[in-house]
Amino acid sequence: MFQNLRLTMAWLHTWFGLVLGFVLMVVFFFGALSVFDREIDRWAIPETRFEPQPMPSFDKVLRPVFESMQPDPGQIELARSRVDGPMATHFPVAKTWGAYTTHRDPVLGVFAGFELPNAKDPDDIIWGTRTIDPRTGKTLPDDQLKIGSQFFYPLHYSLNINWRELGTWIVGFAALVMLVALVSGVIVHRKLFRELFTFRPGKNTQRSVLDLHNLTGVVALPFHFVFAFSGLLIFGGTYFPIGHTQLKPLHDLHEVLESQETGLPHERAGVPGRLASVDAMMAEAQRRWQARGMAGEVGFLTVRHVGDANAYVSIYRAGTDRIALTGEGIHFNAATGEVMREDPPPTVAQHINTFLTGLHLQHFRHWTLRWLYLMGGLLGCVCIATGFLFFVEKRKRQHAAQGLRGARWVDGFAVSAVTGMLVAALAMLVANRLLPADLPGRGDWEQYAFWAAWALALAHGLWRTAPVAQARIAPAWAEQCLAVAVLAVAAVLLNWVTTGDHLGRTLAAGYWPVAGVDLFLLGAAAMAFLAARALRRRSGVPSASAAANAPSRSEAARA
């Protein structure tokens, strides 16, 4: 595009990085929080603050729950456009029952997929979900939002914009641009190895911000690249639904062949069938894994063609001690409990796939690696945020001199995307503690609190970055940092007041999910407070700091 490659790559990195950076900020931050999504759930739903439980008895606990399930009302609404004629009120045929648990789950999520009467697509399924206490089989109310796994986590891969999966597409495009930004960044950064450890906080703002941007981008370069790439791979079927469109005939051929090869029926027989003891099947599965030298817990189980003579039960081992999510599947005839098939060892392609997806989805037990992942995600956030700051710093004097307002608006949106996002997340946690416990639709109110707080932060951010148009530091940053500090401390105090689980108690009991969240909040508050103080000091004496930073240009702008 330009005279040389480096100029073109710099242009590409700057402009695509700037625009998609706002989306990537959300993806990286809430992705980082999602490493501890289940722990955040424990903090948000005090009734679930007990120890993680293994998969409970199917026959005594899960079967009654499954038999009483129906599709979620929200799913029924979404499915209205997928039926010809009236929407059914009862869904008698369950295609699938499933339960999934990890070493971090006290409560168990179960799901059931039902045939959709009058569906346009005969293979269409409509889903219902429940959360139960595995010790008793009691269902938890729907109103309790799992802020970690049901809000922060989907926010990071779909922005919670579910209309025709638009949010997932936006995040996918942002991930592609992230990869482009990483490659173009490496091409532009000539002294990548020589400046690997270079960070000069004492120099002018533009230089130290760029140093930090390069540092956080390069030291975690494999992390940033592999996470963006593996995220795209996980949703590959959404972005390139080739097997369900152009190559559907080939896909259907494969399903028939696979069904013949594995002996697992692809269709219902249309004849009712009984369900034998699934607990006995789970015990048999665990015995077989042990015999192979891979003793383990049941991580995932499904029942297919529920209630039919062709029904089969699939039991998978939890991948707690390795990168793959689950594996070593064993399939049982539902009526007789006989083993129909043991999954063969994974192919090379399956190994690559489970490694990349398992690396991203992290269901393994390794607390050190989890904390390192959190660090990686936050480094990504710092990289993006310093990118914004560098963009503004580089241009604000020039724009002030020319009466342009570009830098001023970018700074406004940047503060909303960085500190504003933190304010929104914290406001949600505070609302979670303040709202009445029995408020109907409590989860919805918590979400409104999140978006409303962000909107307020946006308005504040846009208003209080006006000084950037005169090449000064915006007070918005320090003010929002202070808000972050106050909200974070408030959240910890409210947890104490409303649940009694203060740090003294949770640390003494060793209940790390809640103690960890409280400690992280306090750490964040401390950093935000120090940042606010440092920013206030920097902008408090304009002429002195300007002389230290860039003497001739800023004074000319002010004249």
Partner 1 sequence: MRDALMLLAAQAANIAGLAWLALAMPAHWEQVCGRSACHPRAARLLRAVGAGALAVSLLLCMAVDHPSMASLVWVMSLAAAALAVAFTLAWRPHWLRVLVRLSRG
Partner 2 sequence: MAAPPVSRLNIAVRIGAAVLGGYAFTWGFIALSVALLFAARMEFHDAETLATIVGLLLFVAAFLWAFAARSVAIVWTVLAGGGALMAGAATLVQRALT
Where on the chain is the footprint of partner 1 (CB under 8 A)? 194, 196-201, 215-216, 219-220, 222-223, 321-323, 355, 359, 364, 366, 368-369, 372-373, 375-376, 379
Give every CB contact of residue 152 below 8 A, 6+ residues apart in sequence: 30, 33, 34, 37, 40, 425
Give every CB contact of residue 528 below 8 A, 6+ residues apart in sequence: 422, 481, 482, 484, 485, 488
Q: Which does 163 bind (CB under 5 to 8 A by kind): partner 2, partner 1, none?
A: none
Q: Which does 531 bind (CB under 5 to 8 A by kind): partner 1, partner 2, none?
A: none
Q: Pick the closest to residue 307 from 341, 278, 272 (CA basis).
A: 272
Q: Does 238 bind partner 2 (CB under 8 A)?
A: no
- Which residue stretch of 9-17, 20-28, 137-145, 288-296 sits at the interface with partner 2 (rule: CB under 8 A)? 9-17
Distance from C-alpha of 373 to C-alpha of 396, rounded to nearest angstrom: 35
Q: Which is nearer to partner 1, 310 or 354 (CB)?
A: 354
Q: Does 74 bind partner 2 (CB under 8 A)?
A: no
CB of 449 to partner 1, least distance (A): 34
Q: Which does 136 bind (CB under 5 to 8 A by kind): partner 1, partner 2, none?
A: none
8 CA to centre of own chain: 33
Name the strands in the sheet holding 108-115, side by side, starting at the edge strand that comes first in the sequence. 125-132, 108-115, 94-100, 298-304, 312-318, 326-333, 339-342
Neighbours of 322 (CB within 10 A): 17
Choose which of 18, 76, 93, 180 interacts with partner 2 (CB under 8 A).
180
CB of 202 to partner 1, least distance (A): 8
Choose which of 119, 161, 179, 378 interacts with partner 2 (CB under 8 A).
179
Residues 254-273 that bind partner 2 (CB under 8 A): 254, 258
CB of 52 to partner 1, least distance (A): 20
Bridge partners (DSSP) listed for residue 109: 100, 131
Q: Pick the closest to residue 521 from 555, 494, 553, 489 (CA basis).
A: 489
Amino acid letter, residue 245: T
| Residue position matching structure tokens 């037990």 | 365
Q: Which is nearer to partner 2, 253 or 526 (CB)?
A: 253
Q: Which does 240 bind (CB under 5 to 8 A by kind): partner 2, partner 1, none?
A: partner 2
Q: Does 184 bind partner 2 (CB under 8 A)?
A: yes
Bridge partners (DSSP) listed for residue 316: 300
Give every CB contact of residue 246 below 8 A, 6+ residues apart in sequence: none
Q: Which is nearer to partner 2, 89 or 347 (CB)?
A: 347
Q: Which is nearer to partner 1, 322 or 505 (CB)?
A: 322
360 CA to centre of own chain: 10
Q: Which does 352 bind (CB under 5 to 8 A by kind): partner 1, partner 2, none?
A: partner 2
DSSP 87: P
Q: Does 129 bind partner 2 (CB under 8 A)?
A: no
Six-digit token pair at 424?
A: 């929104």
Choose which of 199, 240, 371, 463 interacts with partner 2 (CB under 8 A).
240
User: Please, what is the Cα angle at 436 between 435 and 440, to 5 degrees?
Assistant: 100
Q: Which does 9 bind (CB under 5 to 8 A by kind): partner 2, partner 1, none?
A: partner 2
CB of 11 to partner 2, least distance (A): 6
DSSP 58: I
DSSP 372: H
Choose which of 145, 232, 429, 528 interacts with partner 2 (CB under 8 A).
232
Q: Which does 197 bind (CB under 5 to 8 A by kind): partner 1, partner 2, none?
A: partner 1
Q: Give 222-263 as a DSSP string.
A: HHHHHHHHHHHHHTHHHH--GGGTTTHHHHHHHHHHHHHHH-
CB of 225 to partner 1, least distance (A): 11
Q: Which does 119 bind (CB under 5 to 8 A by kind): partner 2, partner 1, none?
A: none
CB of 201 to partner 1, least distance (A): 6
CB of 300 to partner 2, least distance (A): 17
Q: Which is nearer to partner 1, 214 or 416 (CB)?
A: 214
Q: Which is nearer to partner 1, 60 or 366 (CB)?
A: 366
Look at residue 322 and give its three-state secondary structure.
Answer: coil
Length of the chain: 559
* Cα R_g (the chain), whole angstroms: 27
Choose which of 76, 119, 176, 493 interacts with partner 2 (CB under 8 A).
176
Q: Pick the closest to residue 124 from 156, 185, 80 (CA basis).
A: 80
Q: Which is nearer to partner 1, 82 or 203 (CB)?
A: 203
Q: Which is nearer to partner 2, 230 or 480 (CB)?
A: 230
- Which residue stretch of 252-260, 310-318, 408-416, 437-445 sits at the interface with partner 2 (rule: CB under 8 A)? 252-260
Choose which of 166, 196, 247, 541 interacts with partner 2 (CB under 8 A).
247
Residues 323-382 that bind partner 2 (CB under 8 A): 347, 349-350, 352-353, 356
CB of 251 to partner 2, least distance (A): 6
Give every CB contact of residue 162 below 8 A, 6+ residues apart in sequence: 78
Helix axes 37-44, 406-434, angle to 10 degrees: 50
Residue 285 CB-density burial (10 A; 0-12 exposed, 13-18 middle, 19+ buried): buried
Q: Which is nearer to partner 1, 177 or 220 (CB)?
A: 220
CB of 90 to partner 1, least distance (A): 47
User: E-assigned strands of 277-388?
Assistant: 298-304, 312-318, 326-333, 339-342
Distance from C-alpha of 433 to C-alpha of 46, rounded to nearest angstrom: 10
Q: Are 128 and 114 in contact (CB under 8 A)?
A: yes
Distance from C-alpha of 487 to C-alpha of 508, rounded to nearest angstrom: 25
Q: Which does 347 bind (CB under 5 to 8 A by kind): partner 1, partner 2, none?
A: partner 2
- Using CB under 8 A as the criterion, which residues of the chain lie in contact with partner 2 when the complex forms? 1-2, 5, 8-12, 14, 173, 176, 179-180, 183-184, 229, 232-233, 236-237, 240, 242-243, 246-247, 249-251, 253-254, 258, 347, 349-350, 352-353, 356, 398
